[in-house]
């Protein structure tokens, strides 16, 4: 099938037909009770929680288990029990399991995409691309480990009879915590990385969107993963965080989510664990884009619109600050405002809709407070600024694609991650100033530049302190990274390892080195 990426602009109409059929099928099955999955068994907790779709009132995604200590401990016990055999399984066999899971995901492609749309209100393009990204992550990790011969490397020996090797080996049972905004790709990608390197997993998806990951866990089981290697439990993040911090069975954590939760977990886990264990943290950001007087302004406006407002700005990669050279500020602001005003906002299930509703009321309140704070600070709303919900939206919470300007550099809208469709513009006069403003943040995930001047582009790449950097990217100024093309990892407050998801070094974070010296007996 044709690969649909976040940056794709067109697709075969047959894809839309299959997606629409899957939407009808998946929607008709919603509302069920979903058990947690431990060692291939269905587990029911004493308490449950209900997840409602953000697309319309009354659309019940399902009832999920509010797992506490008993289930979490059982899941880690299962993962620890499975660890020895799985970690000693030849890497080719582990790869074959992950590849079989990727095959199954391709079989279920449209149902998975429809599930993503329904549980977190992604448009069809975003949901299809996320499903493709999830499959691509599994396949990419498998290709890396095969290319690296399972990360076993001969070392020079000092005698003819001795044999020395460097071998990368797994850690144990890892917790895999994933966010609501990429409910499949980021949980499945991290789990696949953990499993393919020989670790076992206890996955914990976000409570706002847990269905995709429970489905993925079932796919892993069906792909022949040994009992207990992959487990998935649902429930409160903070409760899970407390449990794993104090659990000697938890050999490490891979967490994707907000900086506040990630930092809390990092401190708690480090405090309570008896020795240092791996923590792979992928966190939020405040992503800048620089537009110079040498830019193709129309292209920049189109691409920033996609970067800032795609999935309603609820991407860790969303463009949220744009620094525009003073001489072109007014003309660029006008182009961007016109482009934003033409974004199609509506039901994300519908064809042609570019932006759907926000995940929940809290996100809308955050958006409203941000707009009010811009006005309080004497700033200007150049486009959008309103949020709305009501009968005509079937209760879904919408915010207009919004552009603001005229606020100070230390305003919270410039410094704090909003996770809403709001982008702030500010002028600059020199490239040095633009880079200073772009880098003036504790975050460091994605950044972009629009300029047709090669020297400006090179100055950007050498001066920017972010992990994922794009020049003149058409399909999203700072968004839409793809496994095997863009390693996706944050610097500074955006990530802990410096090795990007979907990149050649990512798997290294899931293994530790062992020197094996075989001397003549």
Ligand X SMILES: NC(=O)c1ccc[n+]([C@@H]2O[C@H](COP(=O)([O-])OP(=O)(O)OC[C@H]3O[C@@H](n4cnc5c(N)ncnc54)[C@H](O)[C@@H]3O)[C@@H](O)[C@H]2O)c1
Residues that bind ligand X (CB under 6 A): 177-182, 186, 204-207, 237-238, 240-241, 256-258, 261, 264-265, 282-285, 316, 417, 419, 445, 490, 494-495
Looking at beta carbons only, is 15 or 217 nearer to ligand X?
217
316 is catalytic: yes
Q: Give dist(CA 518, CA 75) in Å, integer.
A: 37
Shortest Cβ distance from residue 480 to ligand A1AUG (Å)?
5
Counting Cα atoms < 13 Å in the Cβ hemisphere of 326 gives 5
Instruction: Give the interface segment with ligand A1AUG, choosing from 27-35, 339-347, 375-383, 480-488 (CB under 6 A).
Output: 480-488
Give me the least distance between CB of 262 and ligand A1AUG, in Å please.
Answer: 14
Provide the mask over 299-338, with x wherever binding to ligand A1AUG is found by CB under 6 A and - wherever it is not. Answer: ----------------xxx---------------------
The catalytic position among 282, 325, 417, 456 is 282
For residues 13 and 2, is the Cβ–Cβ distance under 8 A?
Answer: no
Nearer to ligand X, 505 or 519 (CB): 505
* Distance set, CA 415 to CA 83, 285, 466 (Å): 42, 9, 15
Q: What tokens appear for 396 in the block?
A: 């879904």
182 scored as a contact of ligand A1AUG (CB under 6 A)? yes
C-alpha–C-alpha distance, residues 433 and 440, integer Å: 10
The number of C-alpha atoms within 13 Å of 473 and in the hemisphere containing its C-beta is 27
* Residue 481 contact, options ligand X, ligand A1AUG, none, Cβ 5-8 Å cut-off depending on partner type: ligand A1AUG
- 437, 179, 465, 425: which is closest to 315 by C-alpha? 179
Which of 218, 416 has the CB closer to ligand A1AUG? Answer: 416
Active site residue 343: no
Residues 6+ apart with CB under 8 A from 80: 172, 173, 200, 249
In 3D space, the residue among 38, 229, 7, 189 whose CA is nearest the CA of residue 105 turns out to be 189
Active-site residue, selected from the candidate residues 120, 217, 289, 316: 316
- Of 481, 493, 495, 503, the one binding ligand A1AUG by CB under 6 A: 481
Q: Exposed, middle or buried: residue 143 (CB in 10 Å: 0-12, 13-18, 19+)?
A: middle
Does residue 191 contact residue 201 with C-beta atoms inside 8 Å? yes
Choice between 213 and 295, CB closer to ligand X: 213
DSSP state of 442: S
Question: By CB under 6 A, is residue 252 in contact with ligand A1AUG?
Answer: no
Q: Which residues are at the interface with ligand A1AUG (CB under 6 A)?
A: 6, 133, 181-182, 315-317, 479-481, 488
Q: What residues are annotated to the active site? A: 282, 316
């Amino acid at each position: 099938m044709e690969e649909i990426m976040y940056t794709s602009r067109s697709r075969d109409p047959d894809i839309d037909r299959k997606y629409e059929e899957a939407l009808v099928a998946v929607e008709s099955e919603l509302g069920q009770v979903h058990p947690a999955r431990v060692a291939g068994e269905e587990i029911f907790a004493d308490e449950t929680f209900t997840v409602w779709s953000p697309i319309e009132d009354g659309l019940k995604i399902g009832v999920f288990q509010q797992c506490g200590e008993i289930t979490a401990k059982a899941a880690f016990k299962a993962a620890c029990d499975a660890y020895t055999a799985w970690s000693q399984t030849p890497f080719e066999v582990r790869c074959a399991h992950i590849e079989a899971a990727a095959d199954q995901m391709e079989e279920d492609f449209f149902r998975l995409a429809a599930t993503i749309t329904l549980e977190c209100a992604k448009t069809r393009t975003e949901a299809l691309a996320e499903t493709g990204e999830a499959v691509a992550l599994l396949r990419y990790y498998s290709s890396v480990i095969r290319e690296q011969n399972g990360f076993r490397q001969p070392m020079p020996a000092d005698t003819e009879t001795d044999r020395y090797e460097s071998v990368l080996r797994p850690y144990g049972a890892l917790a895999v915590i994933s966010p609501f905004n990429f409910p499949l790709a980021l949980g499945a990608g991290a789990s696949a990385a953990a499993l393919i390197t020989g670790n076992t997993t206890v996955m914990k998806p976000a409570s706002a969107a847990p269905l995709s990951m429970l489905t993925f866990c079932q796919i892993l089981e069906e792909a022949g993963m040994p009992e207990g290697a992959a487990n998935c439990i649902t429930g409160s993040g903070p409760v899970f965080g407390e449990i794993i911090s104090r659990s000697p069975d938890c050999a490490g954590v891979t967490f994707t989510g907000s900086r506040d939760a990630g930092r809390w977990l990092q401190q708690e886990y480090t405090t309570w664990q008896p020795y240092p264990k791996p923590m792979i943290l992928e966190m939020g950001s405040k992503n800048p884009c620089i537009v110079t007087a040498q830019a193709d302004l129309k292209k920049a406006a189109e691409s920033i619109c996609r970067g800032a407002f795609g999935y309603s700005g609820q991407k860790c990669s969303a463009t949220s600050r744009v620094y525009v050279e003073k001489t072109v500020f007014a003309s660029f602001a006008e182009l961007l405002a016109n482009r934003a005003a033409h974004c199609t906002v509506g039901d994300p299930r519908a064809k042609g809709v570019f932006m759907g509703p926000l995940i929940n009321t809290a996100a809308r309140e955050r958006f409203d407070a941000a707009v009010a704070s811009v006005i309080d600070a004497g700033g200007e709303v150049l486009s959008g600024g309103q949020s709305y919900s009501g009968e005509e939206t079937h209760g879904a919470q919408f915010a207009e694609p919004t552009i603001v300007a005229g606020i100070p550099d230390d305003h919270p809208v410039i410094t704090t991650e909003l996770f809403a469709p709001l982008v702030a513009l500010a002028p600059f006069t020199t490239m040095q100033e633009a880079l200073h403003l772009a880098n003036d943040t504790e975050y460091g995930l994605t950044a972009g530049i629009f300029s047709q001047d090669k020297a400006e582009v090179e100055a950007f790449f050498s001066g920017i302190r972010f992990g994922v950097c794009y020049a003149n990217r058409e399909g999203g100024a700072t968004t839409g990274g793809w496994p095997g093309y863009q390693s996706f990892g944050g610097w500074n407050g955006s990530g802990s390892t410096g090795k990007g998801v979907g990149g050649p070094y990512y798997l290294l974070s899931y293994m530790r080195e062992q020197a094996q010296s075989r001397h003549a007996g």
